[in-house]
Structure 1
Amino acid sequence: MRKHDLEDSHAFEKTDRPRRSRRARFDDEPEPTRGGRLTEAERVRLARLREDAYTETAIPGGGDRWSTWDEAEHGPHPRPDWVITELAAVDTELGILKTGKEADVHLVRRGLPDTEGTVLAAKRYRSGEHRLFHRDAGYLEGRRMRRSREMRAMESRSSFGRNLIAEQWAVAEFTALSRLWTVGAPVPYPVQRDGTEILLEFLGDGETAAPRLAQVRPEPEQLRELWFQTAAMLELLASQGLAHGDLSAYNLLVHRERIMVIDLPQVVDIVANPGGLEFLARDVRNIATWFHSRGLPERLTAVPELIEELREIAGLR
């Protein structure tokens, strides 16, 4: 075959080779904001971390990163006066507080150079490849994504889907904390959410965290008082149509003799979730069992009556 015939043959193959068909996009369909395995918010956050890592300007005071306040979603107003919003502030890692299946909690100090700063708890959900959200199917009932592609990815638990689930957990926890703090619930103030990291008010003294309820050995009078505080917290959540969803003596803290509730990524909308009332009743039974084990009489917890009262408060009688 002559040279120009060979070139013509290659040109024919290149122009006539069938192309992979692509799904048509409708005019009213929004442009995708996610791609690959990472959500767009996580992609932006990681790009910013890489940029900070290669910056020529050293972070002052031995800090680990510049404040992420300007890029984050902020907590509700009125904002406590200890929240540091200056962009010149730096974050310094102080160590890890708690590890869990879904996230780890770190201790972080945020402050301007040469100042004492404020100690915060940084809850960081792990990357999709290593994340294990236990029993998440029931909690996700009532939460719906707008895009069917995202819903399919979540249901199939693909890498992209697990990343979406992680983002939903972080958003759900930050939203619940903001809502509950606004109505006066005993929760830590949610300072900000940046991707899958939530910065929270640190409950403790100095750098020592407040003990979990499970670690406390209260005297009879204090035990009664802690139960009444817990019941009041459950009533306040029910008034907002919510149940904790996984309540136990391990996600209640005793901070300066007051009950504080933490770990709310699985918060359940009692009305929207078909199993909402079951989650509510389980919360009550679980925490009452702990109080019984410490010697509180069942006549004081009155579990069946409390469950009915919570149903009525939530408007579900």
Structure 2
Amino acid sequence: MKVLVTKEVFEMSQHDFFDLEDSEEFVNQSSIRNMPSRRKAGDRKALPKTRRSTAQQAGAPLPADRREDFSFTYMASRHEREWIENSLVGFYDEHWLDDVLRLVQGGKEAHVYQCLANPSVPDLDQPFLAAKVYRPRKFRNLKNDAVYRQGREHIDADGRVIREVGMLQSIAYKTAWGMQLMHTSWIEHEVKAMRILHAAGADVPLCLASGNNAILMSYCGDENTPAPMLNSLELDSTEAHSLFQRVLHNIEILLSKGYVHGDLSAYNILYWQGEITLIDFPQVVDPHTNQDALPIFVRDVTRICEYFSRQGVRSNPVKLAHSMWAARGYQVIREVHPSLLNPDDRLDRQYWKKASRKG
């Protein structure tokens, strides 16, 4: 195996990160949810018993005494530091993490940080965890996400389906509150998918906790080096064929649980010590309800095949995708009522012939 890119350095000026002072989303994040209490009496300086306002909990700049309490090693710009503080301070208070060590990956949707885990956090094989901190929606590059949301229910910060009429109307009319609800739903769909897929045996990070615009998960790498993206590696023939089959196995697990990744490529697969880890699941689509699920799935498989083709693994991406799709009982060709077919249209006649032979 040859490493093409061993470490990516992301340099961000204050302007490149966020202009937080003008960001309404910075002030109006949802409060932390989905996070069991981990505080132990006497472990840290006790916080005031008076309940903080939603803005203080979620987005308003932290008081000076709390900033001093939640100090971290990573040298961030002022705006980035404020965003990290307000997104992760709740996890610090609840004893999930003790320090933010470095920026691991900067992306179009979120930034991922290596954090020092609190010793009390269970189920970790090393003293680190990863914190994925989402960018405010107005600063995200992936703004045209309607194709992924198609047929997908909106869920709240507790992972429950939103059924309250007022909330659904706010989403439909894209009010400021509605946009925040959509942003929260986007994050919680990733949390839900990761937990389901990890329980099913897929090679995905263990999701530890979520809330307040961030997700805590297991970390891939060691103290000094984060796991590189698969796209940055050249593999020998034996390992390439083995990992290709492993990726296909994971794709089959996703399909079996009713998921299409939606943005799968060698850029969203980590490699560490011969093992792979699939990441980034907020845009997962449901093959049962999303009309564009098949072309999205074909695109995922094609991107994977393109990478492994450069490693010497030959495949037919479209044929492979259709085969995997059909094996799970999904239709490769959508059913169309005969009354909607045009007998003078060549493609409609071809469809009718195929449907007749199948029947």
Q: Give the TM-score normalised by the residue count of structure 1.
A: 0.71
CA distance in 1, matches of 2:302, 2:150: 22
Query: 1:119-175: CA deviations, max 9, x gaps?
Result: 111111122442343430100111234345544544555543432232112101111
Q: Are 1:249 and 2:266 an aligned pair?
A: yes
**8 Å Cα contact 1:128/1:160 also seen in 2:** no
Please give the alpha-carbon distance, in whole angstroms, between the structure 1 residues aligned to 2:203 and 2:209: 18
Read off the aligned partner of 1:244 and give its amino acid letter: H
Asked if the contact 2:191/2:210 (under 8 Å) is kept, the reply is yes
Ranges in structure 1 where 5+ consecutive residues have no aligned partner: 1-34, 71-86
| Paired residue total | 261
Match of 1:166 in 2: 183
Match of 2:132?
123
Aligned residue number for residue 78 of structure 1:
none
Amino acid at match of 1:137: A
Aligned to 2:324: 310
Partner letter of residue 307 of structure 1?
A
Aligned twin of 2:43: none
Out of 197-206 and 122-131, give the one that drifted further. Answer: 122-131
> Counterpart of 2:129 in structure 1: which amino acid?
L
Question: Residue 228 of structure 2: which of 186, 206, 211 is its match?
Answer: 211
Aligned AA (2:329): G
C-alpha displacement of 1:256: 1.7
Structure 2 residue matching 1:279: 3-state secondary structure:
helix
Worse-matched range after superposition: 201-210 or 43-52 = 43-52
Q: Is residue 238–residue 313 contact of structure 1 (8 Å, CA) maintained in 2? A: no
More strand by share: 1
In the TM superposition, residue 58 of structure 1 has moved relative to its aligned partner by 6.2
- In the superposition, relative to structure 1, how do residues 207 and 313 fare at CA in structure 2: closer, same or farther (>3 Å)? farther
- Give me the whole-angstrom Cα distance separating, in 1, the residues matched to 2:212 and 2:89: 16
Query: Secondary structure, in 3 states, of the residue corresponding to 2:151?
Result: coil
Q: 1-side partners of 2:246 and 2:55: how far apart?
A: 39
Structure 1 residue 186 displacement after superposition? 0.2
2:6 aligns to what? none
* Offset of residue 110 of structure 1: 2.1
Opposite residue 246 of structure 2, the aligned amino acid is Q
Among candidates 196, 199, 203, match of residue 179 of structure 1: 196
Change (3 A) 1:45 1:232: farther
Report the secondary structure of 2:280's partner residue: coil
SS at 1:205 equivalent: coil
1:288 correspondence with 2:298: no
Q: 2:91 aligns with which of 68, 72, 92?
A: 68
Distance 1:56 1:126 in 2: 23
Change (3 A) 1:249 1:198: same
The residue matched to 1:91 in structure 2 has which SS?
A: strand
When the two chains are superposed, the root-mean-square deviation of aligned CA atoms in Å is 3.2
In the alignment, is the contact (CA less than 8 A) between 2:194 and 2:206 conserved in 1?
yes
Q: Which amino acid aligns with 1:139?
A: Y
The answer to whether structure 1 residue 93 and structure 2 residue 115 are counterparts is: no
Q: Deviations over 1:162-193 (max 9, x none)?
A: 32232112101111000000011000101110
Is structure 2 residue 97 aligned with structure 1 residue 109?
no
Instruction: Sort the Cα spacing of 1:60 and 1:93 in 2 relative to 1 into closer, same or farther, 3 A.
Output: closer
What is the rounded CA distance, in whole Å, between the counterparts of 2:276 and 2:66 in structure 1? 46
* Structure 1 residue identity aligned to 2:91: T
User: Given the alignment, which residue of 43, 47, 50 partners 2:57?
Assistant: 47
Moved more, 51-60 or 259-268: 51-60
1:180–1:45 Cα change, 3 Å: farther
Higher relative contact order (CA 8 A, sep 6+): 2
Query: SS state of the match for residue 189, structure 2?
Result: helix
> CA contact under 8 A between 1:229 and 1:258: conserved in structure 2?
no
The structural deviation recorded for 1:59 is 3.6
Stretch of structure 1 that moved more, 144-153 or 96-105: 144-153
Which secondary structure state, in structure 1, belongs to the residue aligned with residue 235 of structure 2? Answer: coil
Compared CA separation, residues 134 and 296, structure 1 to 2 (3 A): farther
Counterpart contact for 1:90–1:111, Cα < 8 Å: yes
Alpha-carbon spacing, 1:277–1:61, altered in 2? closer, same or farther (3 Å)? closer
Deviation at 1:316, TM superposition (A): 1.1
SS in 1 for 2:329: coil
Deviation at 1:239, TM superposition (A): 0.9
How many Å separate the matches in 1 of 2:237 and 2:322?
26
Q: Any stretches of 5+ residues in structure 2 without a counterpart?
A: 1-24, 33-52, 74-84, 121-125, 155-162, 332-359
Q: Is the CA contact (8 Å cut-off) linking 2:72 and 2:100 kept in structure 1?
A: no
8 Å CA contact 1:270–1:277 kept in 2: the answer is yes
